[in-house]
Amino acid sequence: MKSEELLLLVGEIKESQIVLKNIDNLYVSYSPMFTDENKRDLRDAVLLADILCNTYTCVETVLFRISRMFENHLDSQQWHKELLRKMRIEIPGIRKAVLSRESYQLLDELRRFRHFKRYYYDFEYDWSRLDYLRVIYERLAPLIQNELENYLNFLQECVNTDYG
């Protein structure tokens, strides 16, 4: 693996961190509408669902790029689930784990929701489920930013030591 490829991956992760931060800024700006049961409405549910799904999709895209760079072996039938599982695992001599057990579990909740939402066309959102996922998001957002930052440090070490 060449330093140029690793640096490209670094750039892709940094771009994704910006997207995640922008999504989080949107979440924070609308958070009062999500939490006040007297104010929230269908638009709030749709926006929250999109924030949850877009967050997952952004993280999954980063993980897929990392996987492609370091291993590139995903089952085509269940690759979304397998990708998360593999990103929890360190591959000695190849790459360190990207995700902690906690972020893996939180992302898996968002993955299941995204899958559900993609095939659910009705607009009757269950606010108790959205409230649960909102808590998941609030735990995940700072955690995943930190884990991506740690992974960037790992990639920079790889570039500096001509890893691979």
Per-domain residue ranges for the chain?
A: 3-160
pTM: 0.91
Quick: pLDDT tens for 19-38: 999 999 999 999 999 999 99
Residue 87: closest CA among 133, 150, 135, 142: 150
Say what the pLDDT of residue 78 is: 77
- Residue 164: helix, strand or coil by DSSP? coil
Say how far apart CA 65 and CA 109 lie, in whole Å. 21
**What pLDDT was estimated at residue 72?**
67
Distance from C-alpha of 28 to C-alpha of 12, rounded to nearest angstrom: 24
Round to whole Å and give the CA distance between 131 and 109: 13
pLDDT < 50: residue spans in the chain = 164
Contact between 9 and 66 (Cβ < 8 Å): yes
What per-residue confidence (pLDDT) applies to 7? 92
Query: Alpha-carbon distance 156 to 147, whole Å?
Result: 14
**DSSP designation for 39:** T
User: What is the structure's pLDDT at 164?
Assistant: 47
- The CATH number for 3-160, chosen from 3.10.20, 2.20.28, 1.20.1420, 1.20.120, is 1.20.120
Q: What is the pLDDT of residue 107?
A: 98
User: Half-sphere exposure of residue 70, counting CA atoms within 13 Å on the CB side?
Assistant: 26
> What would the two tokens of residue 45 be?
């549910």
Cα–Cα nearest to 98, from 109, 86, 107, 110: 86
